[in-house]
Homo-oligomer: A and B are copies of this chain.
Amino acid sequence: MGHPYAPAELELPGYVPLQLSQGEILVSYLGASLFVLLAVWLVSGRCGRLSKIDRMLMCWWAFTGLTHIMIEGPFVFTPNFFKKENPNFFDEVWKEYSKGDSRYVARDTATVTVEGITAVLEGPASLLAVYAIASRKSFSHILQFTICLGQLYGCLVYFITAYLDGFNFWVSPFYFWAYFIGANSFWIWIPMLITIRSWKKICAAFQTEKVKTK
């Protein structure tokens, strides 16, 4: 067999075993994320009179943008990450996550495609959203709405292709719930909330416009 992933018949010639523990990977990622969230929260408190919701949104967009670029980006552009003799932190992240979805280590086409669109388009766009909210640009809502729709469409493709391809890519129910469902769920419910909020704001803006031009 030679690798810890499911299904067992998956062939991964040259696989180099994980060297970091689950705890080391999780603590590093969550620690760095908390640092970003806190930094953006504190800095945003000092620039202008931003509402608490806008400051929370800036934290989310900074976190998700950096995740798309720095975590998902390396996966997209490192096809041989699971074979590297001297794996870096990002290689190890994806070897660990693949326990919840072996399509990453197997380089499934749909998964690579969705991750590519996410890393290349949605990552930079998310960082632009931080700036757009801070400087109250008129495109702020439609930009956030656009990125959220991309994230939601990506999740739809991600889950539907997993279902159609057999739904057997996790080592155990724990990894199914913790990684495949749990980790991804943030990119469903948060974009949904933002989408609903932006949709309402945009409709309200058109109603104001209507009243004004009457």
Which chain A residues have a beta carbon within 8 Å of chain B's beta carbons?
Answer: 109-110, 112-114, 116-117, 138-139, 141-142, 145-146, 149-150, 153-154, 156-157, 160-161, 164-165, 199, 202-210, 212-213
B209 touches A205 (CB 8 A): yes
- A139 in complex: contacting residue of B109, B114, B146, B199, CB < 8 Å: B199
Give the residues in chain B near A160, CB-CB below 8 Å. 113, 116-117
A50 to B199, CA, bound (A): 24
User: A149 is contacted by which of B149, B205, B209 (Cβ under 8 Å)?
Assistant: B149
Q: Is the CB of B199 within 8 A of A138?
A: no
Q: How far, in angstroms, from A149 to B139 measured CA to CA in the complex? A: 16
Given A138-B207, A210-B138, also A109-B202 (CB < 8 A): no
Residue of B with least CB distance to A157:
B113
Q: A153-B150, A157-B157 are in contact. Are A141 and B110 (CB under 8 A)?
A: no
In the complex, are the beta carbons of B139 and A203 less than 8 A apart? yes
Identify which of B110, B139, B205 contacts A110 (C-beta below 8 A). B110
- Return chain B residues, CB-CB under 8 Å to A113: 110, 156-157, 160-161, 164
Q: Are B206 and A161 in contact (CB under 8 A)?
A: no
- On chain B, the residues within 8 Å of A154 by CB distance are 153
User: Nearest residue in B to A205 (C-beta to C-beta)?
Assistant: B205
Contacts A109-B165, A150-B153 supplied; 14 other A-B pairs, CB < 8 Å: A110-B157, A113-B156, A113-B164, A138-B206, A139-B206, A141-B202, A142-B199, A149-B149, A153-B153, A153-B154, A202-B202, A204-B209, A205-B208, A208-B213
